[in-house]
């Protein structure tokens, strides 16, 4: 029998790695799930709901003792991992590029560590893609929170007393979060424009009823990696794009920035001068705040107001603010991944080390950091 441990997350992380629904499915696979008492309360999953689904609700030490697998949202401590079986599997959002010494300490425990952020962008892996499931929710919440900060109506309203014009929303970065932000802003009635350096996004933006804004030169046509991420752009292109954005942003009421490049600080898309040109009362929601922000003035975890009356919101863990949904989706991502490692007939662990999903997400094994993206950082 495979024993799966789930423990409580830090105070600033309301999500949890399993839901009662995924506990049922793990149990059907022959696994025993031990969850720390109270671990799901901030996601509105009660201990009784977990028990009813087939889990054992126990203290932290008992949950960890001898477990084959530890499922987490955030990176666990090396101390917790040492309570597992030697070489046990740890899966979660390990924050591989921000780990530093903690990631090395994690590897030195001998655990087999999988970072869900490295999940390959393939059709087969779509149900396991934690970045997409969480970004989808963050894109939605960015618009909702931005609208609340804006404090004015988003849709056009025609009344006997006159017409309320539609608010203008500008989405910068059209990945999963950006697309959901476009869709949400459109549903709320805003007039939406969007920009991205990847040419494939133009059709996606237009399909949602928004207008695409970008410098469409030869470099733009080659600005996407095989994995679907944006490539770093030349200084010349950045200057042309910045000029276009600077002219456009002056008229916008709500701006959502989502631009991130894996392993790099967030690109600066909005300068201080651009912010100073914006209308009083306009709002920027910077989803890249945790990586330094897409604006020059973003402060992670804070909402600031500039002298000209622009509010800049730099949220941390925005998906976690709707933890019920975020935990449910994240738990399904983990379940889909772990199902590939459990022999359904023998009800034992059976990891295929040649599987592209395993090779793509494996960060540490046998006491060493093994992922090629991290090898130079820890050599």
Catalytic residues: 121, 126, 129, 132, 229
d(CA 150, CA 138): 18
Q: Which two tokens stand for residue 309?
A: 């009356």
Bridge partners (DSSP) listed for residue 72: none
Q: How far is CA 357 from each of CA 59, 88, 198, 295, 339, rounded to the nearest angstrom?
A: 32, 18, 25, 35, 12
Q: How does DSSP classify residue 266?
A: P
d(CA 349, CA 56): 20
Compute the half-sphere exposure of residue 360: CA atoms within 13 Å on the CB side of its CA: 16
Q: How does DSSP classify residue 4?
A: E
Bridge partners (DSSP) listed for residue 158: 163
Q: Which two tokens stand for residue 99?
A: 């780990």
Q: Are 36 and 8 in contact (CB under 8 A)?
A: yes
Torsion sign, CA atoms 323, 324, 327, 333: negative
**Between 176-187 and 130-150, two packed helices, what is the crossing angle to 10 degrees?**
40
Q: Are 190 and 245 in contact (CB under 8 A)?
A: no
Q: How does DSSP classify residue 295?
A: B
Q: Are 341 and 357 in contact (CB under 8 A)?
A: no
d(CA 307, CA 141): 26
Q: How far is CA 53 from each of CA 49, 170, 221, 330, rounded to the nearest angstrom?
A: 6, 44, 50, 18
Torsion sign, CA atoms 281, 285, 291, 294: negative
User: Quick check: helix, strand or coil at residue 5?
Assistant: strand
Bridge partners (DSSP) listed for residue 164: 157
**DSSP codes of every residue in 226-250:** TTSPBPPPPHHHHHHHHHHHHHHHT
């Amino acid at each position: 029998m495979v024993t799966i441990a789930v423990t409580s997350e830090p105070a600033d992380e309301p999500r949890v790695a399993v839901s009662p629904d995924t506990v049922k499915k793990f149990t059907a696979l022959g696994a025993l799930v031990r969850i720390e008492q109270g671990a799901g309360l901030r996601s509105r999953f009660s201990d009784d709901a977990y028990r009813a689904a087939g889990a054992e609700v126990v203290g932290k030490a008992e949950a960890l003792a001898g477990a084959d697998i530890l499922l987490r949202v955030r990176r666990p401590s090396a101390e917790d991992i040492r309570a597992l079986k030697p070489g046990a599997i740890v899966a979660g959002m390990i924050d591989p590029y921000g780990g530093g010494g903690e990631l090395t300490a994690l590897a030195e425990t001998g655990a087999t560590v999988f970072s869900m952020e490295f999940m390959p962008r393939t059709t087969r892996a779509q149900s396991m893609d934690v970045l997409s499931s969480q970004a989808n929710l963050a894109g939605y919440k960015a618009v909702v929170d931005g609208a609340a900060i804006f404090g004015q109506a988003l849709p056009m309203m025609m009344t006997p007393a006159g017409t309320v014009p539609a608010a203008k929303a500008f989405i910068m970065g059209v990945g999963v979060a950006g697309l959901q932000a476009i869709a949400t802003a459109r549903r709320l009635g805003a007039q939406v424009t969007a920009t991205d350096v990847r040419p494939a996004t133009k059709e996606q933006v237009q399909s949602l009823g928004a207008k695409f804004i970008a410098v469409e030169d030869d470099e733009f046509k080659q600005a996407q990696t095989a994995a679907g991420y944006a490539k770093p752009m030349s200084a010349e292109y950045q200057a042309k794009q910045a000029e276009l954005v600077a002219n456009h942003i002056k008229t916008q009421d709500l701006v959502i920035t989502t631009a991130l490049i894996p392993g790099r600080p967030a690109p600066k898309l909005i300068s201080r001068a651009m912010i100073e040109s914006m209308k009083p009362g306009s709002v920027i929601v910077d989803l890249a705040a945790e990586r330094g922000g897409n604006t020059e003035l973003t402060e992670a975890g804070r909402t600031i107001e500039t002298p000209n009356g622009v509010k800049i919101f730099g949220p941390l863990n925005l998906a976690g603010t709707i933890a019920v949904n975020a935990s449910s989706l994240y738990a399904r991502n983990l379940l889909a991944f772990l199902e590939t490692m459990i022999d359904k007939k023998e009800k034992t662990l059976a990891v295929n080390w040649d599987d592209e999903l395993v090779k793509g997400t494996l960060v540490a094994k046998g006491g060493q950091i093994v992922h090629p993206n991290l090898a130079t950082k820890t050599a």
